[in-house]
Chain A
């Protein structure tokens, strides 16, 4: 890489901004999974499929009634589907243990992908960023920063704040947390524990769908989007630590920044440029984390 540009202040600042942006996007994608995987302990392989459904629903609703109604309606619809899936599918599979659960969600992901194929075809749909949020927000040196990315960042931070407050500061949050760690006790106190699980699962899928409505037009809404995104959200949750929202948040930022700088820095190891493997680095971090510190950055339990 002898012709590559030297690392200058402009590239550092732009890369830092790109890294934080990508990290916040990752958090947005994985916050729903944090709720389901790390709180309920359900390995939901179909999480990214709900993200995809959110994007497609967002596309359909936004072409009919506009983007901002879609931002609310699509997650509600997908959340309802998620709740139904939990009530009539996952709950039965749950009774036969983690392996059945895993296989159930694995199959569900394939079914959802096929439904998307049949309904919307195999090619991308023209889901576009709304005019109100299109265009540059500010200019940093010679690069512009798009308004829509700032909007994505704001939603991501708002998700963190709302989830954190909801789980730690409200009565419902207390019941949810208690139901997850001491279900028998909570049931004895007169709460309907299965319903709590259903709501948590529905809420998690709704968050995935919200990410889909926002991510679908920033990137590309097509049937392969779920498969492309599936693994990375698990990396975030595992690196962040099971049971920790803050951990997932920090892990997202860490992965975003590491990956971005791996591209910007022209660092080579024995002739192999680091940027060639940048998108694979998060998985390396996950493997290293599982070996060195299985409970993740801020995890409270081992598995």
Chain B
């Protein structure tokens, strides 16, 4: 190697080093292709938008936040390889949400890595993986969850159902994998506790994303005499179910988790109107006036029909920035400590990162899928004609559940 080439290399290395030290980088490890590509892409938009907002306010400690997208194709295996590559690039913050199987693998890998490399720790910002275990028996000091876990959501949903005396017979229809099982189990236990008079008239599990025609399931629900269906189904499994129910004139309400997510409102269309309820930390039409400029900026960037429903991604960036400022450092171990117990004001009220288990406590909403118009100015994701009407707000403290977590801090 001649001296000129060496100088060029040294110069390039210096630029790389300086740019690396002047950035807080977050690796976004989620599906950006394949069946869940659209969902992952939506999350990426929201995270990039949140980083831009933070950078426009001057970033954090003189540094800018940069998002590094990594496509894990919804595979836990792939995610671990990407995590390794992110760590090798010096990235110390990881954001992920789609699939608790992926999140579980990441938590294990990050725990191990941090134990072996205490001076190069990594923090995991979980924005949507809802397995309750992550903030209970499997809780980790390095993991922070910004979404409500599936038991908290079921608590909110059943609290709403509790007051509705028209509900007498409930049918549980879920996807046959860990999340669907948890939804069914929680629904059974909580309905028995809150409304012992309500009968569970059927419980069904169907293979994930394999059913094309839900008519046989609808016939079975019809025969059971149910007036309500509780389902954790997402994506096409939810949209096809709702469409098949309308075709057969099945007169039930659907209590769901994911009716507001990418593709579902569009695919349900009229079939879901006044039938489909959703529990979520997002209430587009309940956002305060102070939030509107942000809403408009988001729509301007990603299209008039887009809905920034992944509030958890914004929360995660806001908590990260606040914790770094509080700690006066971008070191993950210090930032994680600063984030514990921290409270920030969100668009719908205070949000607290509970120190005992790293579960964010925030208000939850139950809404109904309806035609947009009138006071419902913000339409559901991907549509102009449909929106969610607020039925009930559950304040943060009321959504909190006890935890079995025994946090081990380094």
Contacts and interface: CB of A to CB of B under 8 A. Distances in A.
A84 B41 CA distance: 34
Interface of A: 1, 3-5, 8, 10-11, 14-15, 18-19, 21-22, 25, 117, 121-126, 128, 136, 139, 142-146, 148-149, 219-220, 222, 224, 227-229, 232, 259-261, 263-264, 273, 275-280
Nearest to B37: A122
Contacts of B203: 1, 3-4
A220 B240 contact: yes
B247 A10 contact: no
Interface stretch (B2-10, B156-164, B259-267, B289-297): B259-267
Contacts of A22: 212-213, 215-216
B223 interface: yes
Given A128-B269, A280-B210, 6 more contacts: A18-B213, A124-B263, A139-B249, A275-B220, A279-B211, A279-B212
A224 B219 contact: no
B236 A222 contact: yes
Contacts of A124: 239, 263, 266-267, 382
Contact of A5 (B202, B210, B382): B202
B207 A280 contact: yes
Contacts of B201: 3, 5
Nearest to A21: B215
A261 B216 CA distance: 8
Given A123-B38, A124-B263, A222-B236, A143 B222 contact: yes
Interface in B22-70: 34-35, 37-38, 41
A94 to B, nearest CB: 30
B222 A142 contact: yes
B176 interface: yes
B402 to A, nearest CB: 29
Contacts of B269: 126, 128
B215 A5 contact: no
Contacts of B298: none
A219 B220 CA distance: 20
24 contacts: A3-B199, A3-B200, A3-B202, A5-B202, A14-B248, A18-B213, A18-B215, A21-B213, A122-B37, A124-B266, A124-B382, A126-B269, A143-B249, A145-B247, A146-B248, A149-B247, A219-B212, A224-B236, A229-B212, A263-B206, A263-B217, A275-B206, A278-B211, A279-B212
